[in-house]
Structure 1
Amino acid sequence: MNDKRSRLVSLRNPWFTTSVGATLALFLFSAFVGFIWLPSAQDDALFKGLLNAICGAAGIPRTWLSETNPPVAPKVPLSTVILTPEMLSGPGMRESVGRGATLALRCTMCHGARGVSAANTPNLAGQYSPSIYKELRDFQTGARTSAIMAPMVVGLSDQDLRDLSIYYASLPREPSPGADDASPALGIVATGSPMRNIAPCGSCHGSLANKLGAPWLSPQPRAYLKSQLEAFANGTRHNDVSGQMRNVARHMTQDEINASVDYYAEKR
């Protein structure tokens, strides 16, 4: 038996040498295609040159390439606000409300004397203070653009923005006619669409849960809600952290946008 096995695994056995040679040739060809040929065909500078192509395909970092390939700068300003649950709480809240009420006198024309808008501008009364603070900072830095809001926040200090945010959050939220109705939330609000990477609206914007920095949506003017969703969908609004709202809105159909807007605006 041993003699027979030794004859099979032997260089004198043509079947053995042919199979080993074919396997080795296939391995070398696959390595050539995967580590040299295909990477070299890429336009990325990371793969230029034989050594770079092999290292890039193998996932080996080439830190020295960073000198010639700096990180790609974003085409538009992005939000740089970092929020924490404690940043707008603690001692001094009463003073902030008083200072914020004085600063808010400039805001009454659009957002109402008590933070409830009579136009197609957002209601601020009872809004989460981190959400207000983030948007004001984004208007200041240009991460969110508005021909009206940009000049309004010029010259305001960080403490001014905090005071305004705390003041509006302290105001009573507008009552929602129809809020006591037992009608269930529609699918896009309550369940989203997991297969299309659409999270439920209520998981960030209230009713189900609240994500830090995400605004409470009900009640808000219908025209405002629709314009902002469409702005996220087409990319003209881009101050959402990590692009989460743009990713959601661009996957929503027009019917889903209209339905979600109707759900949150109908409670006015």
Structure 2
Amino acid sequence: MMAQERLYSLRNPWFVGALSIVVGIGLLAGLVGFIWMPYRQAGGTLSGAWDAICRAAGAPALANPDVQLAPSQSRPSEVILIPRMVATDTEAVGRGGTLALRCTMCHGVRGMSGAESPSLAGQGPEVIYKQLRDYQSGHRVSQIMAPHARNLSDQDMRDLGAYYASLPRVTAPPSVAEQLRAPAIVQIGAPMRNIAPCISCHGGSDLKTAAPLLDGAPASYLRNQMLAFAKGTRRNDLQGQMRHIARQMTPEEIEQVVSYYSQR
């Protein structure tokens, strides 16, 4: 007993030295994990040590301090989607094809845009339906789309979704090899910041209802939407998931996502 007491005594230089080393390693690990690494990931744009600690712990924080959030909206959307809620029978596709004639200038004759507008061919019918409903209700703001959606009936929007979903996409789903070459933010996300991988919702490993396919979308369009989510000027994501993710992402990560999907 006497020998054990002397072993764990502060008078024992070996015990004091070992304890100092353990405490030093703990402090160094905390500094690296909670301050240095978040600063590196944010490109030095964090406002201080507390911001870095919050980011490392997964608490909401702006990756870009210049981004100012818009006031929250009580209802981000009035559309609650479930799988296969839009019928894609032949009659719906035919009616949608007639309605889509007015959309060809921006979205292409067969739904593949040659402009800076997104291609809609092969997009999920629920995706088309939800966005049209949100344009019509004002939950998603667009000076271009709002007038086109204003006079559409609910059936019109369902038919347009069915038509565009029936068109073949030019871009094939990514292979496993392509996914492995994708940026880290696309294939594994950033778990320490509560950022899910893009492929878990937008195709690759999974495709969630109402989550659009992003392959081949124009770079300017993707960038504008990511920044709109980050600033809160676009907020028609029901649970705020895209706003949370975009706010946590660094400018470099946003550009990586834009480059990867626009070049597919």
**Counterpart amino acid of residue 158 in structure 1:** D
Distance 2:205 2:174 in 1: 15
Rounded to whole Å, the distance in 2 between the matches of 1:78 and 1:192 is 24
Whole-angstrom CA distance in 1 between matches of 2:101 and 2:237: 28
TM-score when normalising by structure 1:
0.68
Residue type at the aligned position of 1:260: V
Q: Percent identity?
A: 55
1:242, CA displacement in angstroms?
Answer: 1.0
Q: 1:154 to 1:216 in 2, by over 3 A?
A: same
Q: Is the 8 A contact 2:96 2:162 kept in 1?
A: yes
Residue pair 2:92, 2:159 contacting (<8 A) in 1 also: yes
Is 1:182 paired with 2:182? no
Partner of 1:120: 116
Deviations 1:15-55 (A, max 9, x none): xxxxxxxxxxxxxxxxxxxxxxxxxxxxxxxxxxxxxxxxx
Structure 1 unpaired stretches of 5+: 1-72
Please say if 1:96 is aligned against 2:92.
yes
- Provide the residue aligned with 2:190 in structure 1: 193
2:106 matched to 1:147? no
1:186 Cα deviation after fit? 1.7
Q: How does 1:64-143 map to 2 (within 5 A)?
A: 75=73, 78-89=76-87, 93-143=89-139
- With over 3 angstroms needed to count, the CA separation of the structure-2 counterparts of 1:202 and 1:101, relative to structure 1, is same
Larger Rg over CA atoms: 1
State the AA in 2 paired with 1:80: E
Deviation at 1:167, TM superposition (A): 0.1
Identify which of 234, 250, 257 aligns with 1:237. Answer: 234
Deviation at 1:89, TM superposition (A): 3.2
**Superposition TM-score, scaled by structure 2 size:** 0.69
- Aligned residues of 1:77 and 1:142 also touching (Cα < 8 A): no
Distance 1:138 1:99, change over 3 A: same
Moved more, 201-210 or 183-192: 183-192
Which residue does the alignment assign to 1:26?
Answer: none
Q: Distance in 1 between matches of 2:235 and 2:176?
A: 35
Name the CA distance, whole Å, in 1 between partners of 2:86 and 2:239.
22
Map 1:186-265 → 2, pairs under 5 A: 186-265=183-262
Higher RCO structure, 1 or 2 (CA under 8 Å, sep 6+): 2
Q: What is the distance in 1 between the residues matched to 2:263 and 2:185?
A: 15
Once the two structures are TM-superposed, the CA of residue 84 in structure 1 deviates from its matched residue by 1.2
Unaligned runs of 5+ in 2: 1-70
C-alpha separation between the residues in 1 aligned to 2:176 and 2:187? 16
**Residue 242 of structure 1: SS of its match in structure 2?**
coil
- What SS class does the counterpart of residue 182 from structure 1 fall into? helix
RMSD: 1.9
Aligned AA (1:206): G
Q: Cα deviations across residues 84-114 of structure 1 (Å, max 9, x unaligned)?
A: 1131137xx1000000000001100100000
Are the counterparts in 1 of residues 112 and 120 from structure 2 also a CA contact under 8 Å?
A: yes
Post-superposition offset of 1:152: 0.2
Structure 2 CA distance, aligned partners of 1:207 and 1:181?
8
Structure 1 residue 182, shift from structure 2 partner:
3.4
The answer to whether the 8 Å contact 1:76/1:143 transfers is no
Q: For residue 75 of structure 1, report the CA deviation from its aligned partner.
A: 4.2
The answer (yes or no) to whether the contact 2:219–2:259 under 8 Å persists in 1 is: yes
